[in-house]
Amino acid sequence: MSSLLLLLFLVQCLGLSVSAAGVQLHEQNNHVVMDNGILQVSISTPQGFVIGIQYKGIKNLLNVQNEEDNRGIEATNYKVIMRTKEQVELSFTRMWHPSTNGTIAPVNIDKRFLMLRGSSGFYSYAIYKRLKGWPGFQLFNNRMVFKPNPDKFHYMIISGNRQREMPLQQDRERGHKLAYEEAVLLPNGEVDDKYQYSMDAKDIRVHGWISTDSTVGFWQILPSSESRSFGPLKQFLTSHTGPISINTFHSTHYVGENFGMNFKDGEAWKKIFGPFFVYVNSVPGKGDRQMLWRDANRQFMNEVKSWPYKFPASKDFARSNKRGSISGRLIVKDRYVSRAGIAAKGAYVGLAKPGRAGSWQTECKGYQFWTVANEGGNFSIKNVLIGNYNLYAWIPGFIGDFKYHAAIRITAGSAKQIGNLVYKAPRNGPTLWEIGIPDRSAAEFYIPNPNPKYINKLYVKHDRFRQYGLWERYAELHRKRDLVYEVWANNYRKDWYFAQNTRKKGNKYEGSTWQIQFKLEGVVKKATYKLRVAVAAAHGAELQVRVNSRSARRPLFSSGSVGRENAIARHGIHGVYKLFNVDVPGKVLRKGNNTIYLSQPRKLDAFTGIMYDYLRFEGPDPNS
C-alpha cells in the first residue's frame, strides 16, 4: 500500500512541476492544441474533432487512422471562450438555419472542450438547443467516441471483474459474422460482440484502456448521470474492441427505437450533456495495470466530489447555487409481508419529467436524478436542476412502480423535506407461490452454459447471460417439450429458464407454452385470485395466460404485442420493466392439481421472447 501511495505521489509531483506554466493554447492552421504541460490535446478547427492526445512521450494516444466519417458531429465554427493560465475553453458550433433545412438536423450544437491547469486530462460537454418553429426530427444517438491507438492499447477495463486483453480489430475482420449483426466468431474460436460490454447506467463509473506495457491508462469518467436518457437501469455501450471508448448519453439500445428522442414540428428544447472527463494516468517503471485502475477509480471519486463543476464557462451549465435538493423516507406497505410499514431499503428513488409511474424508463428529453435509499428507507437527492418533476421509485424485493402523487418543484438553493412517503405494493391476498426475486432482472434464473463454439472467456465464471447465442440453448435443452415447472418440487435457480425464447424448426421459428403446475388445498369458487407477472424484458413478444385449459381459444389474459428491447440478442438480462396483473376467477381453479399456461406465440426470429423477473400467485383476500 505504501509503495502505491509513494508512486501516486511521484506521479502527482511530476505533473505539478511541469504544469507550473499553466494552460496554453497553440493555434495552428487547421487545428488547435490545448497544452497544460501534462498533456497536449489537438482538436481540428472548425470541426471540433479530437485528433491527437500527446502524453508521456507518446505522440498520440489516439488512432491516427481514424476515419473522418466516424467522429460524430462536425462543427462549422470555432471560438475561444476562455484563455487563461488556469483554464482554456473552446467552443465548436454547428447552427441550424432554415437555409440548412434538410442537410443537417434541426438542432444547434455547441461542443465544448476545456483544460485546467495541473489536470491530467480534459473535459468536454455539449449544449443542444432547438428553437420554437423548427421542423421536427428524431435523435437516435448521442455519444462521445474515442478510438485509442490500436498499436498501444489492448487491455480494457470496464469494472473490477470485467476486464481483459481484447481482440484486435484485425481479428474481427478475419473472423466471421454471426447471427446478430455485431457479433463475430474470431479466428481463435472466441466470440466478440460490443454488446457483451454494455452496462447499466447506475454501474458505469470509469472505463477505458491500458497500454501494452501497462504504464499508461486512457479513461472516460462521467461524474453525473443526470443528462443520460432512461434512468439508472438503462444499459449503455462502454468500451469495446477497436479499441473504442464510448461515453453514451442517449441511445435506444435495450429500450426500443420507438422510444427515441422525437421532436415534433415547432418543439423547442435545450439540454446540456455532460461535462465528462477524459483522464490519462501513468505509472513509472515496468507498469501495473491494477494500480492504473485503482488510480482511475480514485479520480472518479474526485470528479464526483467536485460535481457540479464550478468551471464550465457556459451559462447553460447550472452550478450548485442553481440547483436544489430533496430528501425524505420511503416506506412500503405490503400487509402480507408485514403488518407494519417496511423501510424501503435499497430503493431507487429519482426525479424525472412528470409522467405516469415508471415513465422514467422511456423518458429521454429531460434530466433524471437518482439515488439509493439507505437501510432505513431514507433518501436524499442532491444537485437537482431547477424545474418541475415527479418523484419515482422502485424497490428491490417488491413489485411495481411508485410515483408520488404531487408534482415536485425544485428551486435554486432549496432543500425540500418531503417526509414519509408510502408505497402500497400491489397485493390482493396471501402468496400461494412465487417464482424468482422481484428485482427487474432475470439473472437469478437458470442460465445455461453457452455453446462451446461461442465462448467469451470473460463470462465463464460470472455474468454468464452475456455469452453469445444462449437463445439457441433453450430448444437444445427442451428438445421434446417446453418447460414445465412444478411449484412444489422445482427450484427457480435450476429449473426456470431465464428467457422464454422461440425455437427453431427448419428455417422457421415457433413460439412456446410454458407450464406452472401447483396444488391448491381448497378453492373459493366465488373469489378472484391474482397472478402477478413481472417482466424484465420483452422483444416482439406477446404473453398469453391460460389456466387449466391449454386449448382454450381465448386466453384469460393477453398482453398484446409487447417490447422492442432486443435484450435477448444483446445479452442484456433486463430491458423495460412491465408488470401484468391477471385476475384468475376461482371458478377456473380446482382443489389439487392446477396448471397455468404461459404462451409466447410470436415467432418473428431467434431474438423474440420474454424474460421474466418474478411471478406470484395470490389467494383471495380473506377480509374481502
Ligand X SMILES: *[C@@H]1O[C@H](CO)[C@@H](O)[C@H](O)[C@H]1NC(C)=O
**Which residues here bind ligand X, judged by CB under 6 A?**
98, 101-102, 135, 329, 374-376, 378, 517, 593, 595
Q: Whole-angstrom Cα distance, residue 457 to residue 393?
A: 36
Shortest Å, Cβ 484 to ligand X? 8
Shortest Å, Cβ 517 to ligand X? 5
Nearer to ligand X, 137 or 311 (CB): 137
Q: Whole-angstrom Cα distance, residue 484 to residue 478?
A: 10
Shortest Å, Cβ 120 to ligand X? 37
Query: CA 209 from chain center: how many Å?
Result: 20
State the DSSP code for 309: P
Shortest Å, Cβ 547 to ligand X? 10
Nearer to ligand X, 97 or 174 (CB): 97
Shortest Å, Cβ 515 to ligand X? 7
For 360, phi and psi rounded to 5 degrees? -60, -25
Shortest Å, Cβ 328 to ligand X? 8
Shortest Å, Cβ 545 to ligand X? 15
Q: How far is CA 533 from CA 489, 493, 578, in A?
A: 20, 17, 8
Nearer to ligand X, 420 or 449 (CB): 420
Nearer to ligand X, 26 or 587 (CB): 587
Q: Which residue has the cell 411471478?
A: 615
Q: Whole-angstrom Cα distance, residue 581 to residue 618?
A: 11
Q: Which of 308, 332, 483, 491 is nearest to 402 (CA)?
A: 332
* Residue 364, number of CB atoms within 10 A of its CB: 25
Nearer to ligand X, 314 or 380 (CB): 380
Cα end-to-end span (Å), the chain: 64
Nearer to ligand X, 292 or 395 (CB): 395
Sign, Cα dihedral of 241, 242, 247, 250: negative
Q: Which residues contact 336 (CB under 8 A, 6 or more apart)?
A: 427, 429, 430, 431, 618
Shortest Å, Cβ 273 to ligand X? 25
Nearer to ligand X, 57 or 102 (CB): 102
Q: Which of 536, 593, 528 is nearest to 557 (CA)?
A: 528
Shortest Å, Cβ 153 to ligand X? 42
Q: Which residues contact 477 (CB under 8 A, 6 or more apart)?
A: 448, 497
Residue type (1 letter), 255: V
Q: Which residues contact 149 (CB under 8 A, 6 or more apart)?
A: 58, 60, 61, 62, 63, 64, 243
Shortest Å, Cβ 552 to ligand X? 13
Q: Whole-angstrom Cα distance, residue 278 to residue 561?
A: 42
3-state DSSP call for residue 473? helix
Which residue's C-beta sits nearest to ligand X? 376
- What is the signed CA dihedral for 79, 82, 87, 92, rounded to 10 degrees? -20
Nearer to ligand X, 517 or 558 (CB): 517
Nearer to ligand X, 329 or 440 (CB): 329
Locate 190 and state its grid cell. 472466441
Nearer to ligand X, 105 or 157 (CB): 105
Nearer to ligand X, 132 or 526 (CB): 132
The conformational region for residue 222 under phi > 0 = left, psi -120 to 50 = alpha, else beta, is beta
Shortest Å, Cβ 325 to ligand X? 15
